[in-house]
Structure 1
Amino acid sequence: MKKIFLLLVLSVSLASVKAQVTDNTLQHILVDKDSRIDSLLQKNRDMNEAVYLNTLKNMQGYRLQVITTNDRNKAIEVKTRLLTDFPGEKTYLIYHAPYFKIQMGNFREREDAEQLMDRVKQVYPTGVFIVPSRIELKPSKDGEIIL
């Protein structure tokens, strides 16, 4: 009996609820905004463009890892020798505790890295191998980055 009474009261109360009536009299909405919002949006666009262009300068590629040692002085010595023997190739001293790694080159294709590896193995016959890495792209003379 209580359930029937509760159901009856609930159905009567729900029947009296009206849906919201839409009012189409407001056709135009005016927004008063601060002029600094436009300058902030432009700064945001500029920052996003700078980040995008920076990501274009790096891509996945290959480098030669010449030596891995925990002696910093030896790593610097090897890097100096590589810079004198291969002046056209960029060398990198990377520290991953507790090791210093000397890597060189920025190659998109593994075959290009293999060509340099053959020349480097004449100076360092052991321990030279190709590693995948994020490489730096060189822009052309007019400033465009060629993919």
Structure 2
Amino acid sequence: MRKLSRNNLIFTCFLTAVSYANLSAQNAEININQDEKISKLLELKTEMSEGNKIGDRYKIQLFYGDNKEASEVFKDYESKYTYPAMIDYETPNYKVYVGNFRNRLEADRALREIKENFPGAFIPKPKRR
């Protein structure tokens, strides 16, 4: 019995030494050299995404008319829904837009919900910029 435990101790020490050698061999450093233009492009894309300047997005148009009515529609919409809304001026009228949807399916789902209170709402074709 005594010999068996001594063999176990030797085996355990051997495994520990091998594991330590293996772990120390895997400590390596990686250096990544990145072009400066990549970080500038990422910053530009972030700015464009925040300002909704990237095209091919779907929006729902709720209203087209004068400023006073557009403000009323905007306030009425915001009291009922959580999708982001904005008033856009295109000479000579104001338009109330809702959302910034990535695809037509998302826009259609929101439109079906919004049409209950705004039956004239529709999805205009997205503009390419």
Measured against the shorter chain, the TM-score band is 0.5 to 0.7
RMSD: 2.3
Contact 1:61 1:107 in 2 (8 A): yes
Alignment gaps of 5+ in structure 2? 1-35
Question: TM (normalized to structure 2)?
Answer: 0.59
| Residue 65 (structure 1) aligned to one of 58, 61, 64 | 61
Question: TM (normalized to structure 1)?
Answer: 0.52
Q: Number of residues paired by the alignment?
A: 89
2:111 maps to 1:117: yes
Residue aligned with 2:83, SS: coil
Contact 1:61 1:132 in 2 (8 A): no
CA distance in 2, matches of 1:51, 1:68: 32
| Deviation sequence 1:9-64 (CA, Å, 0-9, x none) | xxxxxxxxxxxxxxxxxxxxxxxxxxxxxxxxx8x987655324323544521010
Q: Which has the larger radius of gyration?
A: 1
Alignment gaps of 5+ in structure 1? 1-41, 135-147
Greater shift in the superposed pair: 104-113 or 48-57: 48-57
Which has more strand, going by share of residues? 1
- Indicate the residue corresponding to 1:24 in structure 2: none
Paired-residue identity, %: 22
- Indicate the residue corresponding to 2:94 in structure 1: 100
> For the structure 1 residues 45 and 109, does the alpha-carbon distance in structure 2 shift closer, same or farther, using more than 3 Å as the test?
closer
